[in-house]
């Protein structure tokens, strides 16, 4: 993992990016905000999410006592339905090593949350000591029992109708029990579900895109590549969904959008895009930087705020990654001197070693080869995408 100027970096995922350097750094872990601390309580009416997978094991039991209808599963879980009304597990219940009348058998290293609903109008008591919700150990399994009343059980909405039992799943967990009068559990918070779906789309495969233009003029090729990138972004359903809701998206989803744009730019121009990272310690007036040794683009959280600026910054910085890769290719003999890009790539390479700093005159800075090209790329793509 790379670090920012302060040696601290907030790393989020980098999907669809083909790093040139260390492959192991290509898929940094999720930001810490994505994973609740071990033992934390997930929001009511929301499935526990651990390790990127949400699994809701729910019991709306009414008839047999827990333990009376064991259903062995592939994970060593025995399911038991419950009697009516269901009661919270006694102290030291399923997770606490106690002995409820008929406790569910876990038989595996799985964190199981037990929430039961009472038959009265009061919410179910929280799990007893030692039986607190647990989402650690890889899988967060949530056990909720229902009640005959309309009281929320573990946060369930009152007065709603019973939900159908889930069908079998790949983990071999089986639904047992159920009651027509039991308040249903909400499978997933719709907003969380929508965000998860969007992120899956953003990190999914790219649509079919044209490769680098093959004309005899590098400038003309560049204009065609740019046009294709604009059209690709405009036509991409995942990106358009993200753009439509930009202000409400969490940072990691925005970053997934940025990495998708970078991946599209790489596919169309024919280079390996640099992975984008959020550097939480970059503050105004600094917005980000490209680091060819790391092969990373670091952006500040401020950069994520304005969508148009974000698209501009991402494509501008990726243009530098493109210039560097092509410059090195040309310099190291990996590019045919007859390639229409060859002379430009050589000039880009030289420019990286003879960079005109803006403090020594903005005009020289702004019009030097690598900046003129990067500005044209970022400005044009953002202009075209939002035209």
Partner 1 sequence: MKTLTFYLWKLDASTDFLPQLAGQVTVEGDRASATPSSDARIRDLVAALGKKPLPLRSETMEGQGAGMKLKLREVELRPGEADWGYALSEAIGREGGYSVTFTPEPQ
What backbone torsions phi and psi does residue 363 show, to the nearest 5 degrees? -60, -45
CB of 16 to partner 1, least distance (A): 22
Count the Cβ atoms, other than its own, within 10 Å of residue 231.
15
- Least Å distance between CB 280 and partner 1? 16
Cβ 347 to partner 1 shortest distance, Å: 13
With contacts defined by CB under 8 A, how many residues of the chain interact with partner 1? 45
What is the C-alpha radius of gyration for the chain, rounded to an integer number of angstroms? Answer: 27
Q: How far apart are CA 366 and CA 254, in angstroms?
A: 28
Least Å distance, CB 251 to partner 1, is 18
Work out whether 372 is an interface residue with partner 1 (CB under 8 A). yes
Closest residue by Cα to residue 292 from 310, 279, 309, 273: 273
The DSSP secondary structure of 27-47, one letter per residue, reads SPPPPGGGSPPTTPPPPTTS-
Report the alpha-carbon distance of residue 326 to residue 266 in Å, rounded.
12
251 Cβ partners below 8 Å, 6+ apart? 12, 31, 278, 301, 304
> Is 384 an interacting residue with respect to partner 1 (CB under 8 A)?
yes
Taking CB under 8 A as the rule, does residue 386 contact partner 1?
yes
The interface with partner 1 within residues 304-343 (CB under 8 A) comprises 308-309, 313, 317, 320
243's CB contacts (< 8 A; 6+ apart) are 257, 307
* Min CB(321)–partner 1 separation in Å: 10
Chosen residue from 70, 130, 292, 301 binding partner 1 by CB under 8 A: 292
Among residues 246, 281, 289, 342, which is the contact residue for partner 1, using CB under 8 A?
Answer: 289
Measured at the CA of 17, the angle between CA 14 and CA 337, to 5 degrees, comes to 150
Stretch that binds partner 1, among 23-31, 95-103, 180-188, 361-369 (CB under 8 A): 361-369
Q: Does 6 bind partner 1 (CB under 8 A)?
A: no
- Comparing CB distances to partner 1, the nearer of 121 and 240 is 240
- Axis crossing angle, helix 190-202 with helix 237-244, rounded to the nearest 10: 140
CB of 231 to partner 1, least distance (A): 6
Q: Which two tokens stand for residue 94?
A: 């399923």
> SS3 for 115?
strand
Among 227, 246, 301, 346, binds partner 1 (CB under 8 A): 227
User: How near is the Cβ of 302 to partner 1 at its closest, in Å?
Assistant: 9
Of residues 206 through 225, those in contact with partner 1 by CB under 8 A are 219, 223-224
290 is a contact residue toward partner 1 (CB under 8 A): yes
CA distances for 303 relative to 224, 307, 309, angstroms: 27, 8, 7
Binding site for partner 1 (CB under 8 A): 219, 223-224, 226-227, 230-231, 284-293, 308-309, 313, 317, 320, 352-353, 355, 357-359, 362-363, 365-367, 371-373, 375-376, 379-380, 382-384, 386-387
């Amino acid at each position: 993992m790379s670090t920012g100027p302060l040696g601290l970096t907030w790393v989020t995922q980098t999907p669809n990016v083909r790093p040139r350097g260390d492959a192991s750094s290509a898929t940094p872990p999720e930001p810490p905000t994505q994973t609740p601390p071990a033992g934390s309580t997930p929001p009511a009416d929301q499935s526990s999410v651990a390790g990127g997978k949400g699994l809701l094991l729910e019991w709306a039991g009414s008839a047999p006592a827990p333990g009376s209808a064991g259903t062995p599963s592939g994970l060593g879980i025995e399911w038991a339905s419950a009697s009516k009304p269901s009661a919270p597990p006694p102290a030291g219940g399923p997770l606490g090593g106690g002995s409820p009348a008929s406790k569910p058998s876990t038989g595996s290293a799985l964190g199981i949350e037990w929430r039961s609903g009472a038959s009265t109008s009061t919410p179910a008591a929280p799990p007893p000591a030692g039986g607190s919700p647990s989402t650690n150990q890889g899988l967060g399994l949530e056990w909720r029992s229902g009640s005959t009343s309309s009281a929320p059980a573990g946060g369930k909405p009152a007065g709603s109708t019973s939900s159908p039992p889930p069908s079998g799943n790949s983990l071999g967990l089986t639904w047992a029990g159920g009651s027509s009068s039991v308040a249903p559990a909400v499978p997933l918070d719709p907003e969380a579900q929508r965000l998860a779906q969007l992120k899956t789309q953003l990190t999914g495969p790219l649509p079919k895109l044209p490769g680098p233009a093959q004309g005899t003029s590098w400038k003309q090729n560049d204009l065609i590549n740019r046009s294709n990138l604009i059209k690709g972004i405009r036509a991409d359903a995942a990106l358009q969904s993200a753009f439509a809701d930009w202000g409400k998206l969490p940072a990691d989803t925005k970053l997934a959008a940025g990495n998708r744009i970078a991946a599209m730019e790489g596919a169309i121009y024919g280079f390996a895009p640099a992975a984008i990272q959020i550097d939480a310690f970059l503050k105004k007036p600094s917005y980000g930087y490209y680091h060819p040794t790391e092969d990373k683009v670091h952006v500040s959280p401020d950069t994520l705020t304005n969508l148009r600026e974000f698209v501009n910054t991402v494509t501008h910085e990726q243009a530098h990654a493109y210039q560097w890769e092509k410059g090195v290719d040309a310099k190291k003999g990996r590019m045919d001197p007859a390639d229409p890009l060859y002379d430009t790539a050589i000039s880009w390479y030289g420019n990286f070693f003879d960079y005109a700093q803006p403090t020594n005159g903005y005009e020289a800075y702004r019009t030097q080869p690598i900046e003129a090209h990067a500005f044209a790329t970022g400005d044009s793509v953002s202009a075209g995408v939002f035209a």
